[in-house]
A and B are shown apart, each in its own frame.
Chain A
């Protein structure tokens, strides 16, 4: 009886498998006109103004166009929806004592995916909307800095809604076929900002957006649309740009389908369809690439070994992104929760432990950067020159750098806090986000390196959820933070503002505003306001040197992306978005 049933079960399984196997024949997956990317991240929204995840920005990058284009290969800005790149030489940038005007002549005959024709009014509407709704995208913040010296909400808080809107309205004007930006203060990165390749400031169709229920574009209605939430956003699941691909379908946490836009102003893309599938599991992504169900995958260094030597797979390795990871020293730790006793007694550290430059230098010398890059990143990441990422204008390859030197680390630890650090020792906690293996390995290497110098030195490591970590960063209670930012566009001012400006991000969370104000602010302002490239370069070089001299942070790793793709995929070009692809040049088939 039992044997009969087992045989029956086996036959059923076999039959199912065979039928299922035949079902494969039905597949039309290997469509030569389709590029399939599998990605560990899902999109958060389709509204580029509310998009904060770098990975998501790949989609607006391909659906929207910006006024200018940043050519990553040549590292230059070229015309986009604007027909010329504004400069002092061509008279499109005019610097006056009262401010700066920057004019963008708008290309004619460009069509949106909806069929509407691009007008300068669309450009004005796009930028005004981004600011009025309180856009959270990476590029909206510098746009606000340039036009309003802060966010629209801040301006409203300062001068009231009416005055704020009037100022915004004056800041962006339409003059014939031109859009004129009136900046009250010079903002040299503005031209590069307009070349974000649609990541956050791609131009959207005003008529379509209003029809979909967005802000109608008038002063009277603006206040009701301020502080827009993702769930109330009419453009949460819609896109309409002038880019090479149009949005066809978005199934959240599942897939995105883009189709070629035949009327694209630069000519239609080679590939007809782009599908991005959300596959959070690394092994599953790699298996899908091996099986040919996926065409391209972004790899973590450890993944490379699993694919190298596989037939039919090729790679684009070590493409530098502008993502710089560093250990940030907190100059004023807001509680003693993670610093033991809170005293320099061998059982903790004082809250201002990192104000001593010798402590910071000692940490910079104590960490074995090469071991990290080789062991954890298997040589696939870069050792940065300094605070400006490699590949970005003004990155100084001759800037002095810290390298692993235990003797020098001991020397500085002996000098720190009048010799008390060496004599009494210390203890504190280094946090890393759960699941971020590279941060975990960093913490382990740092712990090993530091504790090897003196048996009285102790570092505890602790994994916390990103949500918890965010609360700790905001609360200022962590003695050190280990993370990095990706600048919105490749302009060194944006890096310098984040890293070294007294009103910048890191100065705020690491509490070194006083030091920044004394030593860096005037130089940062030069990089921000000067339209003279030589002057900007000089200031940027000085800032990189000062960052080294002051050991402001332990800058140890610059991300470099490696892509694995099927060998019949061609046309890969590095994109402005480190985690995304620019599909315009892709093609499938023979070379």
Chain B
């Protein structure tokens, strides 16, 4: 298992290098003037700046391979370049927005997994009952609700009407604390940092801001996981070893919880990993509606303004994340099912 993990990890830099070459090669299809849009985000800028001077200033007039070489050289010095769309170095932007998205996705994953495992189990155990049908219809309906509509409805009800769950990552007073000199930022995750700084009120405020967006993201994840959990469990509970367990006189709850569900979880875990990776693109709308600046919004802004240093940085981080997630999924498989061994 250790060797397998190391081998996979060793392939990581090679994969990322290939990815960076592919992304960089896209640049040759785009006019250098179009790439200047990130520096001239309105028509006035066209008048005030000499675009040729700007091309030279930012090195965009060089051949693409030369630009790639410069970028790669900087990367070896841990410099991802400057993101004009984020107004900060790419590495700093990745840390800041990555932390926000990790916080959001983690909570959403907890909601989604908890919901899908509990409800999926219930639906499978009560197959073809009213509850089962209700949950299946609910999962279809939740798939049909566009995220921005659901998000807006939640905002109108829980923010505009009762002011329980406001948008953004923190309230003004909490931001003042977080950006004060006495508050140490360890991870960029407000929930974690607030606990490490022993500030329970900021922790609660961060949770309050995470609650609605994570619910909306979880809704998108939940449907697939719920259906998978249900079908997987239905398959497992009809297998011989489950029948044997029942024959041994174990209660139904123990049969399901200890024997059937553990094996039924395997595809759910795999799918959960894939769902999280896919959600990186999907959280854009949620982040926008809830003014929750994370990787999704960073990615969209970078892509629409052709902010290539940022696009490259995001590609590498997301690429690395996907590879690492796959390793984690593989390892999770082995932990859940001791019969699986990697060589």
Q: Which residues of A contact B (CB under 8 A)?
A: 1-2, 5-6, 9, 16-17, 19-21, 23-24, 26-29, 36, 42-45, 52-54, 134, 136-138, 140-141, 151, 153, 227, 229-231, 249, 251-255, 275, 277-281, 283-284, 287-288, 290-291, 293, 434, 465-468, 470-471, 473-475, 483-486, 498, 505, 509
Q: Does any Cβ of A come within 8 Å of B95's Cβ?
A: no
Q: Is the CB of B86 within 8 A of A470?
A: no
Contacts of B57 in A (CB 8 A): 134, 227, 229
Interface string of B216-252 (1 = CB under 8 A from A): 0000000000000000000000000000000000000
Contacts of B291 in A (CB 8 A): 279-281, 284
Partner of B82, one of A230, A466, A505: A230
Distance (whole angstroms) from the CB of A558 to the closest CB of chain B: 15
Q: Is the CB of A467 within 8 A of B172?
A: no
Determine which residue in B31, B44, B164, B167 has the highest number of CB atoms from chain A within 10 A of its CB, and name it. B44
Q: Which residue of A lies closest to B50 (CB)?
A: A151
Chain B, range 288-303, C-beta contacts under 8 Å to A: 288-291, 293, 297
Q: Is the CB of B172 within 8 A of A44?
A: no
Contacts of A505 in B (CB 8 A): 46-47
Q: Is the CB of A470 within 8 A of B37?
A: yes
Q: How far is B122's CA from A422's CA once the two chains are assembled, in angstroms?
A: 72
Q: Is the CB of A52 within 8 A of B160?
A: no
Distance (whole angstroms) from the CB of B124 to the closest CB of chain A: 11
Q: Is the CB of B36 within 8 A of A470?
A: yes
Known A-B contacts A28-B173, A291-B166, A475-B31; A5 and B49 likewise in contact (beta carbons under 8 Å): no
Contacts of A138 in B (CB 8 A): 44, 47-48
Contacts of A16 in B (CB 8 A): 207, 211
A-B contact pairs, 7 of them (CB 8 A): A9-B118, A23-B204, A44-B41, A52-B42, A153-B53, A287-B156, A465-B34
Q: How far is B56's CA from A227's CA once the two chains are assembled, in angstroms?
A: 9
Q: Does any Cβ of A come within 8 Å of B116's Cβ?
A: no
Q: Is the CB of A471 within 8 A of B204?
A: no
Interface size on B, residues (CB 8 A): 69
Known A-B contacts A52-B45, A227-B57; A288 and B167 likewise in contact (beta carbons under 8 Å): yes
Q: How far is B253's CA from A410's CA once the two chains are assembled, in angstroms?
A: 82
Q: How far is B48's CA from A485's CA once the two chains are assembled, in angstroms?
A: 11
Q: How far is B87's CA from A252's CA once the two chains are assembled, in angstroms?
A: 6
Partner of A27, one of B33, B168, B172, B207: B172
Q: Does any Cβ of A come within 8 Å of B38's Cβ?
A: yes
Q: Is the CB of B172 within 8 A of A43?
A: no
Contacts of A17 in B (CB 8 A): 164-165, 211
Q: Which residue of B lies closest to A154 (CB)?
A: B50
Q: Which residue of B lies closest to A483 (CB)?
A: B43
Q: How far is B176's CA from A28's CA once the two chains are assembled, in angstroms?
A: 10
Contacts of A290 in B (CB 8 A): 160
Q: Is the CB of A281 within 8 A of B47?
A: no
Partner of A467, one of B38, B48, B50: B38
Q: Does any Cβ of A come within 8 Å of B3's Cβ?
A: no
Distance (whole angstroms) from the CB of B284 to the closest CB of chain A: 11
Q: Pick the 3 closest A-B CB pairs, nearest first.
A: A467-B37, A471-B34, A252-B87
Q: Is the CB of B34 within 8 A of A287?
A: no
Q: Is the CB of B175 within 8 A of A255?
A: yes
Contacts A2-B122, A141-B47, A473-B46 aside, 5 further interface pairs with beta carbons under 8 A come to A27-B172, A43-B87, A134-B53, A136-B45, A138-B44
Q: Which residue of A lies closest to B303 (CB)?
A: A465
Known A-B contacts A253-B86, A470-B33; A24 and B118 likewise in contact (beta carbons under 8 Å): no
Chain B, range 80-99, C-beta contacts under 8 Å to A: 82, 84, 86-89
Q: Which residue of B lies closest to A23 (CB)?
A: B204
Distance (whole angstroms) from the CB of A168 to the closest CB of chain B: 17
Chain B, range 124-181, C-beta contacts under 8 Å to A: 152, 155-156, 159-160, 162-168, 171-173, 175, 179
Q: Which residue of A lies closest to B45 (CB)?
A: A52
Contacts of A474 in B (CB 8 A): 31, 33, 46, 51
Known A-B contacts A44-B41, A52-B41, A54-B42; A254 and B33 likewise in contact (beta carbons under 8 Å): no
